[in-house]
Amino acid sequence: MKMPAGTPTIHELPIETLMHIFRYLVKEEEVARPELREKYPPALILRSICRRWNAVAKATPELWLQLVGPYGIEWTRRALTFSKELPLDLTILNRTAFYRGFKDISHSLPLLEAKLCRLRSLTLHLDSYPEIVPSDLQMALLSSPLPMLEKLELYDGQSDSVYILDENTLSGEVPLQLKCLDVGSYVTILPTCPILHAPLTSLCVYDTPIWKSTDEVLCTLSSLPQLETFYWGVTSSTYGSEMPFAALPLSASSEPNPKMVHLPRLQTMHLSGQIEIITYLFTHIAFPSSCAVKILAELDNLPLVNIGELYPVLDVALGERLQAAFPDDKEASGFETMTIENFDDDFAVGATLTWKDATSASAPKSFTFGFLPIWDSDIPTLHPEALALICHMLSQWPATSRAVSRFHNNHGGLCLPNLELEDQPWTRLLRLLSAVDSITTIHREGVDGLVDVLASRSPNVVFPRLHRLTIQRANLTLAEFASLMSALKTLHTSSKEERKGTASSPPTLCLKWCSLDGVEIPDFHADLGVEYVGREEKLTG
Better-predicted residue by pLDDT, 123 or 71: 123
In 313-346, where do the E strands start and end? 335-343
Model confidence, pTM = 0.85
C-alpha to C-alpha distance for 265 and 228, rounded to whole angstroms? 5
- 524-528, long-range: CB < 8 A, 24+ apart: 526/485, 528/485, 528/488, 528/489, 528/492
What would the mean pLDDT of 407-416 be, rounded to a whole number?
92
C-alpha to C-alpha distance for 233 and 242, rounded to whole angstroms? 19
Q: Which of 372, 355, 351, 352 is nearest to 307 (CA)?
A: 372
In this structure, the chain runs to a length of: 541
Instruction: Tell whether the model's pLDDT for residue 243 goes beyond 80.
Output: no
What is the pLDDT confidence band of residue 501, given thresholds at 50, 70 and 90? Answer: very low
Looking at the chain, the whole-number percentage of residues with pLDDT higher than 70 is 81
How far is CA 294 from its chain centroid?
8
Give tens-digit pLDDT for 424-464.
Answer: 999 999 999 989 999 999 988 888 888 888 877 666 666 76
Dihedral angle computed from the Cα positions of residues 261, 265, 269 and 274, in that order, rounded to the nearest 10 degrees: 0
C-alpha to C-alpha distance for 335 and 535, rounded to whole angstroms? 37
C-alpha to C-alpha distance for 474 and 440, rounded to whole angstroms? 12
Q: Which of 344, 353, 410, 354 is nearest to 377 (CA)?
A: 344
C-alpha to C-alpha distance for 19 and 38, rounded to whole angstroms? 19
Cβ atoms of 489 and 528 within 8 Å: the answer is yes
What is the pLDDT confidence band of residue 532, given thresholds at 50, 70 and 90? Answer: very low
Radius of gyration of the chain (CA): 29
Q: Which of 394, 399, 295 is nearest to 350 (CA)?
A: 295
Predicted pLDDT of residue 454: 82
Question: How buried is residue 47: exposed, middle or buried, by Cβ count under 10 Å (0-12/13-18/19+)?
Answer: buried
What would the mean pLDDT of 510-522 be, rounded to a whole number?
93
Give tens-digit pLDDT for 464-490.
Answer: 688 899 999 999 989 888 888 888 887
Bridge-based pairing of strands 366-372 and 268-274 is unpaired
